[in-house]
């Protein structure tokens, strides 16, 4: 799997149009052997872009009915910085249960895992994989692939930003220190700041110093952008 993902990332770097990204999400779907892969980005001015494997009928239905207003996945990602397993969201209301039943009928799958991404200048994106399997199988899938899914999400988002801006991200000359690299690596893996600090055996204040140092060197607008840039530039080692 590691070799296949590395090959995918290398191919992703050659993408030059948004249509190229559309084909890439189909590659990811086949790579992870899931029902669907979705990447959806919204910039600060409300402009949207999506690359997805859903059928047109479900996409049209979702947009027409304004399901983003009731979708627990969307609301959950706005409230969190870390990946969201759909099973941990609140599906108890009748409206949301009916929505999930309709989604399953459309082939979305009963399981899902979504990575929220907060990029530069107010950009917000979500990367999702969904499938139709048992809880037990989905637990094994997420345990095995969480790291790779987060990597895929950030690489895809960074490439989308590059294409939309009409340029590429250039790596600045200043190297990250080992601790700055460690701090961003922990965040890229989905650790909270408290968990990252504990893992690195430092205080949260010291962690912030390392993160801010890395952000400055990378020329990033915020911490999430710093993680995405470091990933795209191959600065993080897992």
Average pLDDT over residues 34-41: 96
Q: Identify the residue with better confidence: 236 or 179.
A: 179
Q: Comparing C-alpha atoms, which of 218, 4, 232, 21 is closest to residue 127?
A: 21
pLDDT at residue number 169: 47
pTM: 0.76
**Which residue from 91, 86, 155 is spatially nearest to 117, judged by alpha carbons?**
155
* For residue 98, pLDDT beyond 90: yes
How far apart (Å, rounded) are the C-alpha atoms in residues 73 and 25? Answer: 19
Q: Right CATH number for 2-165 from 3.40.1170.60, 1.10.10.10, 3.20.20.70, 3.30.450.80?
A: 3.30.450.80
Beta bridge partners of 39: 51, 127
Residue-wise pLDDT tens digits, 161-197? 888 877 654 444 578 899 999 999 988 888 889 999 9
CA distance 108 to 37: 10
CATH class of 178-232: mainly alpha
Give every CB contact of residue 172 below 8 A, 6+ residues apart in sequence.
217, 218, 219
Domain ranges of the chain: 2-165, 178-232
Sheet holding 36-42, edge to edge: 48-52, 36-42, 124-131, 111-118, 84-85
């Amino acid at each position: 799997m590691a070799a296949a993902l590395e090959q995918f990332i290398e191919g992703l770097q050659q993408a030059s149009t948004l249509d190229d990204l559309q084909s890439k999400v189909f590659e990811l779907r086949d790579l992870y052997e899931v029902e669907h892969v979705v990447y959806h980005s919204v910039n600060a001015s409300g402009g949207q872009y999506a690359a997805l494997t859903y059928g047109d009928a479900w996409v049209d239905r979702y947009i027409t009915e304004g399901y983003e207003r009731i979708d627990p996945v969307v609301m959950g990602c706005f409230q969190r910085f870390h990946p969201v397993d759909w099973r941990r969201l609140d599906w108890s209301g009748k409206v949301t249960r009916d929505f999930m039943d309709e989604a399953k009928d459309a082939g979305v799958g009963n399981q899902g895992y979504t990575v929220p991404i907060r990029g530069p200048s107010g950009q917000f994106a979500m990367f999702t994989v969904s499938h139709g399997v048992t809880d037990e199988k989905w637990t094994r899938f997420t345990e095995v692939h969480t790291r790779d899914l987060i990597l895929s999400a950030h690489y895809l988002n960074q490439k989308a930003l590059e294409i939309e801006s009409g340029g590429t991200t250039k790596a600045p000359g200043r190297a990250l220190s080992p601790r700055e690299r460690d701090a961003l690596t922990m965040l890229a893996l989905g650790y909270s700041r408290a968990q990252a600090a504990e893992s690195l055996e430092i205080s949260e204040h010291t962690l912030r110093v390392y993160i801010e140092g890395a952000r400055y060197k990378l020329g990033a607008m915020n911490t999430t952008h710093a993680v995405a840039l470091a990933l795209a530039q191959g600065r993080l080692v897992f």
